[in-house]
Every structure is written in structure tokens, then in C-alpha cells.
Structure 1
Amino acid sequence: MTSKIESPPPYEVALQHPKSSFPSQSQHGSSLPPPPSYSPNPDMCRSPPGYWDQDGVYPQTGMWAAPGFSPSGIPATIPTLSAGVPASNQGDMDDFLSTQWESTSIRHAFIRKVYLILTAQLAVTFAVVSVFTFVDPVRQFVIQYPGIYWASFVVYFLVYCILICCKEPRRRFPWNCVLLAIFTLALSYMAGTISSYYETKAVLLAMGITAIVCIAVTVFCFQTKVDFTSCGGFLCIAAVLLMITGTVTVVVLSFQYVPWLHMLYAAIGAVVYTLFLVYNTQLLIGNRELAISPEEYIYGALSLYIDIVHIFLFILQVSGASNE
């Protein structure tokens, strides 16, 4: 005995009687399971979209877990952009930037300290030169007693050797300041003594040219990308050439004064010490192949001071010889 399944009513009848119920379908005397009810289940919010939460029928929600997603299907973290730097290296990048900033600030403070010391030295030197040039009694005294000049030269040489060999500014700061003051006075007396042998016009001209050269060299060194700190060998050769020229000039001039030879030696000396000024200024600035340590501000000021004073003395010899 089989059961007969009635066919559904036609479409027109269904439209006329929308609330008519269909007979329940049965097979072998058993009814089919009812469809799932449309009751909102709180757990369905954590289930993958498009599936009912029926245990044993559909996959568990934990099976949908993937890298970057929680077992419930919601992303655990939101990916962010970090300028191409992995999250693990972000701290290293911050440390690197802070180190660079600190190094730059230390270098700028070092440069300011060196130029403050240099300004004080040059002020003392050119004050002494002005007194020896414009005050006639002092000028005549210096010319009559040349022994003081040679004594100041000995002091200049000895103190210079001590300052070069003992570069420990942190532990020897008071002594370095005292030695630097003695060195400045000795070289100032030497420059004033040499200036007293020339006319006032030649001294003023030499001062002006020296100031222009120093400003131009400083601006050039701060703006150029050319590294002059790698030219130490060339500067060594130039220093040897200057020493040989000076020896020949002294020997020749001791027998007979030759103006053009004297001017040639002075011009070579001015050029060589200008190159040394460029070299030492770039050592002071840093960011080159070679650089001065920020702790050696005494040495930095000393090297620039010697270069500037020698440029002034060589230019003074050129201008004085041309006037004669």
C-alpha cells in the first residue's frame, strides 16, 4: 500500500486563495523534518556569513580561522602602513634618528665654541697690531729691542708643542686655557713686531684682504661638497715647497735684497696657508672623510688662529714690498 501525494493547486488558484495550506507530504507514514526556524541566534553573529549554526551539520567556526583573523571570524588586528619600515624595526629607526639629531647638535655647539674662542684671539691680536702700528713710542721700542721678538718666538714654539701633544680638554681645561692665552699673546707680539716695520697703509690693506679671504673661505667650506680633508698629502707637499722657498729666500736676501723674490715667497705662503685654512675649516665642520672630535675645541681654534695670522703676515709682506 502506497500513499498518494497530491499535486499542488494551479497558479490561478493559489493567487485566489493565498492562505490555503498544502497537505503535508509523507512517505512511508513518516513526515519530513520541519525547516529551521528563523529565530535570531546570538551565536550566528560569530558564524561565517551564509551558514546556519547547526552543530554536526556545518563546519565549526574555529575551522575558518586564518592568519590575521580570530577563531570567531573577526580580524584580530587591522593592518597599518608604517612607511615601509617593519614594526620590529621602528624602534631602531627612532634610535637612529635621535642619534643623528644629537650628533648634529653637538657638532653645532662645538663649532660655536671654536669660533667664539677664535674671535677672542683675533680681537687680541689685531688690537696689539693696531697699538704697535699707530702708537709711535711703542713702535720705536719694539724696533730698538728685537730680542723680545725672539723670546716671544721661543715661547710661541714651546707652547704650541705642548698644546698639540696634550689634547685632553676635559681633564686639563684650566691649563689649556692658560696655555692658549700665553700662546695668543706671544703670536700677537710677533705679529705686532713685524707690522711695526711696515707703513700704516700696508698694514690696513693687509687686514682688509685677510678679513675678505677668511670670510670667503668660511662660506665656501660651509657650502661646498668637495672634500678637502682627503688632500693631506698635497698639503704636505705644499708645506715642504714653502719651507724650501723660504730657505732659499733667506739665503739670497741675506746677500742682496730682491723684491720680486720676496713677493714670490710671500704669495706662495699666503696661498699655502689659505689651503690650510680650508682644510682645517672642513675638519671643524665634519661630515667629511676626516673630522675633529667635538672635545678638541682648543685644537680647532688653535689651528684656525695660526692659519689666519700667517695669512695676514704673508699678505702684509706682499703689500709692503709693493709699496716699497
Structure 2
Amino acid sequence: MSGYPGYQGNQVGGGDLEMGQPGMADARFGQGAAYYGGGGSQYGGQQQQGYYGGGKPGKQQQHQAQYAGYGGQQAAGGYAPPQVQQPPPPPPGPSQYIQDMDLAVRHGFIRKVYGILFVQLLLTFGLVAVFSYIPAVQSYAMNNSWLMGVSIAAVFAILIAMTCCPGRLMYKSPLNMILLMVFSVFFGVALGVIGASYACDEMKYDLQQGLYVCVNNPDAPAVNGRMSVLLAMAITIAVVVLLSVFACQTRYDFTGSGPYLMAALLIFIVFFMIAGIWLRFNKVYNLVYACIGVLLFSALLIWNTQMIVGGKNRKYSLGPDEYVAGALSLYLDIINIFLFILSIIGLSR
């Protein structure tokens, strides 16, 4: 019975409970099965302790109830956020180096470079043959020195415009191809004037006509003038093919020797040009100069070939957009080899 009149108390289990009576004073906070009793509800799949004195939950219970919705078995009515899958990392972009590209791309780049080089050499050596073996053209070239000056000036102007100007003309198609072909034509004219003089066994000045006349001796036992130009072309082609095969097949990497070759080229030009002021008519000096020139530009040809072909054992290589630069570098190496071989043959006659 309750101590207050009219108050019947809480009926639990059929008995009267007095206020303040120990034991089951309040069914909500007792030891029996209630909301927060010892049996307790389950949070995250584990049984939790009931409320402690004063009706406050323990720290462990607060922590587990707060994060009951994450991981393990969820409580009734809990929220389980959907799992978020991270997107896969993007594939790596295309490499700027030929050796890291697909094999088909690399082969296409090589074919493009050597195709351009073939057209350049065809134009240049074709003009050399015209100037050397057609008498009227040969006579005109020998008696008009301005032709050489204009051709050399045009060659340097186009070369500077393609390599040094801020407009990056070397990478703008089809302008780069047009400039490259014009460059090859002017270079062919300059070499044709040189070849016209080498194709003569002797140059005589005709006082009556006021012109230089080419004299050839077909009965000469040694290589005559006209034969020397063809021989220089044939030797140049053979040397280029052998060096290119060596550069592609060898396991030695020459791509890191570019600074040393550039320094050697600079010393070669400065030293021998200064020495040539006093020794330009010395046959031995000119022969040594030509032999060193062949060796130096042969090394440059190997270096440029490996820069174009690339491969797994090459440290450096050209990028996919530098096909004009690759063809131009090979072209200049081959032309210089031809000039020095022609000089050696002419001096040895």
C-alpha cells in the first residue's frame, strides 16, 4: 500500500510497491527485463550494460550507441550508409619519348623521318648530278659565283628561322615540310656549284670568251673529275648505311654523348678555320682536316640515329613531334660526310 491516500502505487507482477521500497522501486530502472535493464538491448551486436546510478549511461555505452550504425550488426532502425567505391586511377598519359611508346608508333615515327630524309637526299644529290654532268649548267655554275653566295645565305636563313625563331616553325605542318624542301633545294644548288668544279680535271680561263672552261681527260689512268663525284656519292651512301645499321644494332648507348660531340664540333670548326687562314693551300693540312671531319660527322650520325630510333637501352631520344628535327640532323651529317669525302678524293688525285 502507498503512504498516500488514494494512490494505488505501481502494480508489477501483481504486488503493491511502495515508494522508496528497495528492490524493484521502479520497473524502468530495475534489474529485470526492461528498456535499459541488465538484459539490455544490443548495440552493434554486443550486449550493453544498463544505466548506472542516477540514470546516466556509461561511457562505453555512449560510445557504442553513437556509432552503432557503422560496422557489424546494426541495431533496429539504425542507418547504414552505402559503401562508396573509389574510382580507379586514370591511365598514364602518352610518353613524350619514343622508347616508351607503342611499337607501332615508334616504327611510324622512324618511317616518317627516313622518308623525309630520302626526299631531301634525292633533291640534293639530283641537283649535284645536274650541275656536274650537264656541260651548260656546269659552265654557268663555274662562271657565276653569286649562285653560291645566294644559296648559302638562303640555307642559313631558313635554318635559323626553323630552329631559333619563337614561332616554332619546325613544328607547324605543312609549313615545316615546305621550308625543309626549299632548304634542301638551296643546299643542293650550293653543293652543285662545288661539284661542278670537282668534276673537272682542270679549270682553264678562256681569254677570248672571258669564261672558265672545264677540261676533262678521259684517258687519265686514275679517277677523273666526273668519276670522283659519283665515287664520293657511292662512298657516302655506303658509309651512312653501315653506320646506321651499327647504331641500331649495337648495345652501346651514344645518346648521352651529345654535349661532348657538340664541344668537339665547336673546337673543330674554330681551330681548323683559324689554321686554314695560313694553311689553306697546304695539301697535307686539307687532307688531315677532311679526314677528321669524316670521323667527327660519322660519330654525330651515330648519335643522331640512336636519338631517332630509341630503344630500351637508350637513355635519350626525340619526341614524336620532332620528325623534322630528326630528318634535318641526319641530312646535315650526311651532307658534311659527302663534302669531306669529296675533298679527300679530289686531293688524292
Per-residue Cα deviation, 1:107-134 (whole angstroms, up to 9, x for no partner) = 1100000111111111111110111111
| 1:164–1:136 Cα change, 3 Å | same
- Report the counterpart of residue 184 of structure 1 in structure 2: 184
- Report the counterpart of residue 196 of structure 1 in structure 2: 196
- Report the counterpart of residue 282 of structure 1 in structure 2: 306
Matches within 5 A, 1:162-311: 162-165=161-164, 166-167=167-168, 172-198=172-198, 199-253=225-279, 257-287=281-311, 288-311=314-337
Structure in which a larger fraction of residues adopt strand: 2
Counterpart of 1:140, as a letter, is: S
| 1:112–1:167 Cα change, 3 Å | farther
| 1:226–1:140 Cα change, 3 Å | same
| 1:289–1:168 Cα change, 3 Å | farther
| 1:249–1:320 Cα change, 3 Å | farther
Counterpart of 1:148, as a letter, is: L
Shift in Å at residue 245 of structure 1? 3.8
Counterpart of 2:110, as a letter, is: I
CA contact (8 A) 1:167 1:299 kept: no
Identical-pair percentage? 34
Q: Are 1:317 and 2:343 counterparts? A: yes
- Tell me, in whole angstroms, the C-alpha distance in 2 between the residues paired with 1:130 and 1:168: 31
- The TM-score, its normalising length taken from structure 2, stands at 0.61
SS at structure 2 position matched to 1:269: helix
Q: Which runs of 4+ in 1 moved over 6 A?
A: 98-101
CA contact (8 A) 1:169 1:295 kept: no
Structure in which a larger fraction of residues adopt helix: 1
Matches within 5 A, 1:48-127: 103-127=102-126
- Tell me, in whole angstroms, the C-alpha distance in 1 between the residues paired with 2:148 and 2:343: 17
Counterpart of 2:179, as a letter, is: L
CA contact (8 A) 1:133 1:196 kept: yes
SS at structure 2 position matched to 1:294: coil
Shift in Å at residue 308 of structure 1? 0.5
Counterpart of 1:310, as a letter, is: N
- Tell me, in whole angstroms, the C-alpha distance in 2 between the residues paired with 1:133 and 1:168: 33
CA contact (8 A) 2:170 2:325 kept: no
Q: Say which structure, 1 or 2, has more relative contact order (CA 8 Å, 6+ apart).
A: 1
- Report the counterpart of residue 49 of structure 1 in structure 2: none
- Report the counterpart of residue 14 of structure 1 in structure 2: none
Per-residue Cα deviation, 1:175-234 (whole angstroms, up to 9, x for no partner) = 111211110111111111111111212111211110111000110011011111111232
> How many aligned residue pairs are there?
227
CA contact (8 A) 1:249 1:265 kept: no
SS at structure 1 position matched to 2:317: coil
- Tell me, in whole angstroms, the C-alpha distance in 1 between the residues paired with 2:177 and 2:143: 32
Shift in Å at residue 169 of structure 1? 5.7
CA contact (8 A) 1:229 1:279 kept: yes
5+ long unaligned stretches in structure 2: 1-87, 199-224
- Tell me, in whole angstroms, the C-alpha distance in 2 between the residues paired with 1:233 and 1:116: 28
- Tell me, in whole angstroms, the C-alpha distance in 2 between the residues paired with 1:322 and 1:274: 21
- Report the counterpart of residue 158 of structure 1 in structure 2: 157
SS at structure 2 position matched to 1:173: coil
Counterpart of 2:107, as a letter, is: H
Shift in Å at residue 161 of structure 1? 1.2
- Tell me, in whole angstroms, the C-alpha distance in 1 between the residues paired with 2:100 and 2:327: 24
- The TM-score, its normalising length taken from structure 1, stands at 0.66
- Report the counterpart of residue 9 of structure 1 in structure 2: none
Shift in Å at residue 248 of structure 1? 3.2
- Report the counterpart of residue 42 of structure 1 in structure 2: none
- Report the counterpart of residue 20 of structure 1 in structure 2: none
- Tell me, in whole angstroms, the C-alpha distance in 1 between the residues paired with 2:259 and 2:101: 33
CA contact (8 A) 2:127 2:189 kept: yes
